């Protein structure tokens, strides 16, 4: 939390990778201002040259979206032979589980959040929008003003659940809007293939079906289970983990709603759980509290 200096030997933590090279360690300088709201991390950092080559993640975490804007300086990155440059004022959306080579120098603002926070109907757009640098736009400027405010806001080391839930809802919407309006350039690659797009659309219409399996998903999208598993592995997850996260995200959205919320029994039936006990157990494991407790926390904030 807060503003701190980063040393050359600790810089790998800044980008969450096992191996980072600093061309001139004696002259290296870096500062970082960071705020964390649950699983959402917003930060501003500045540094002299830092290089990352194909390397594994520092932590074995679910896939995260990293939306980055260069305030000054530049980011040069490549993946699978495709190279791009993000100049001052431009933005780019990256996926944490991909292997990138990049050279970063200057000041940047960044927000990272788990892919599982996004509703399934928007995931295809998010994935299709990664790795595509986007120039400054009026919408982007407004959205980055919101993120800058989250970075500089005075919060406790552990924000309360209402604040965390509100920030999660706000930032997923911010990233989605930027993807839709500023990043709508699709690239056909293994990890944003039609298989993933079709699978997430299938999830959106089969939330209530408890009989969903890898086999039924593969059959629905017209592919083999092996190809389906490989497509989801490319973004660091599995088909069943993805639909589980989609269901629980949808439940949380209903609990955050200002309108009357269905009963737990109705939610369990709507989202493919055997009963309210099974839903409560899964929800607590995902969000750290039972559905009723979660709703009590977020409703006062909703006003």
State the pLDDT at residue 186: 43
In this predicted model, what pLDDT tens digit does every residue of 119-164 receive, in sequence order? 877 887 787 778 878 877 777 788 888 888 888 887 666 778 888 8
Residue 288 banded pLDDT, cuts 50, 70, 90: confident
State the pLDDT at residue 267: 92
| CA distances to 195, 226, 240 from 246, in Å | 17, 21, 10
Q: What is the CATH number of domain 193-302?
A: 1.10.10.60
Q: How far apart are CA 150 and CA 273, in angstroms?
A: 35
> In the structure encoding, which two tokens stand for residue 75, read together?
């980011």
Nearest Cα neighbor of 34 from 108, 84, 98, 99 is 108
Residue 301: pLDDT above 90? no
* Residue 108 burial (CB count, 10 A): 23
Residue 23 banded pLDDT, cuts 50, 70, 90: low
Nearest Cα neighbor of 242 from 277, 265, 270, 217 is 217
Q: How far apart are CA 204 and CA 272, in angstroms?
A: 12
Residue 4 banded pLDDT, cuts 50, 70, 90: low
Residue 101: pLDDT above 50? yes
State the pLDDT at residue 18: 55
From 6-15, 31-40, 271-280, the region with the lowest mean pLDDT: 6-15
Q: How far apart are CA 75 and CA 147, in angstroms?
A: 20
Q: Are 73 and 88 in contact (CB under 8 A)?
A: yes
Interacting residues of 163 by C-beta distance below 8 A, sequence separation 6+: 37, 155, 301
Percent of the chain past pLDDT 90, that is, above it, reads 13
**For residues 252 and 16, which has the higher predicted lDDT (pLDDT)?**
252
State the pLDDT at residue 177: 80
Nearest Cα neighbor of 212 from 268, 267, 271 is 271
Residue 166 banded pLDDT, cuts 50, 70, 90: confident
What DSSP letter does each residue of 184-212 carry, written as one string? Answer: ------GGG-HHHHHHHHHHHH-TT-TT-
Residue 189 banded pLDDT, cuts 50, 70, 90: very low
Residue 302: pLDDT above 50? no
From 25-29, 125-129, 136-140, 204-208, the region with the lowest mean pLDDT: 25-29
Q: How far apart are CA 65 and CA 67, in angstroms?
A: 6
State the pLDDT at residue 45: 85
In this predicted model, what pLDDT tens digit does every residue of 45-96 receive, in sequence order? 887 776 666 555 545 567 888 899 999 999 888 876 677 888 998 888 888 8
User: In this structure, what is the dihedral angle of CA atoms 204, 186, 72, 150, given to the nearest 10 degrees?
Assistant: -10
**For residues 235 and 92, which has the higher predicted lDDT (pLDDT)?**
92
Which residue ranges make up each domain of the chain?
2-182, 193-302
Nearest Cα neighbor of 147 from 75, 65, 225 is 65
Average pLDDT value over all residues in the chain: 79
> In the structure encoding, which two tokens stand for residue 262, read together?
């269905």
Q: How far apart are CA 272 and CA 7, in angstroms?
A: 49
State the pTM of this model.
Answer: 0.61
CATH superfamily of 2-182: Jelly Rolls (2.60.120.10)
């Amino acid at each position: 939390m807060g503003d701190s200096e980063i040393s050359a030997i600790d810089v790998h933590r800044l980008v969450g990778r096992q191996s980072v090279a600093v061309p001139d360690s004696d002259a290296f300088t870096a500062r970082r201002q960071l705020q964390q709201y649950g699983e959402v991390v917003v930060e501003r950092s500045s540094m002299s040259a830092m290089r990352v080559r194909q390397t594994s993640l520092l932590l074995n975490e679910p896939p995260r979206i990293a939306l980055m804007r260069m305030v000054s300086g530049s980011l040069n990155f490549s993946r699978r032979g495709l190279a791009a440059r993000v100049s001052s004022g431009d933005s780019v959306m990256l996926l944490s589980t991909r292997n990138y080579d990049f050279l970063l120098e200057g000041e940047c603002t960044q927000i990272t959040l788990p892919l599982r926070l996004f509703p399934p109907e928007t995931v295809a757009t998010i994935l299709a929008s990664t790795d595509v640098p986007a120039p400054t736009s009026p919408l982007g400027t407004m959205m980055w003003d919101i993120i800058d405010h989250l970075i500089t806001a005075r919060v406790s080391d552990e924000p309360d659940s209402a604040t965390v839930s509100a920030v999660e809802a706000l930032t997923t919407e911010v990233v989605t809007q930027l993807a839709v309006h500023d990043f709508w350039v699709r690239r056909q690659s293994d990890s944003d293939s039609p298989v993933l797009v079709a699978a997430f659309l299938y999830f959106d219409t089969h939330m209530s079906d408890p009989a969903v399996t890898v086999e039924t998903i593969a059959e629905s999208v017209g592919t083999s289970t092996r190809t389906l598993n490989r497509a989801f592995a490319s973004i660091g997850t599995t088909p069943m983990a993805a639909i589980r996260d989609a269901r629980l995200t949808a439940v949380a959205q209903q609990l955050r709603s200002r309108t009357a919320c269905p009963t737990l029994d109705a939610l369990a039936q709507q989202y493919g759980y055997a009963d309210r006990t099974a839903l409560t157990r899964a929800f607590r494991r995902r969000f750290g509290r039972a559905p009723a407790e979660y709703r009590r926390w977020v409703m006062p904030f909703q006003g």
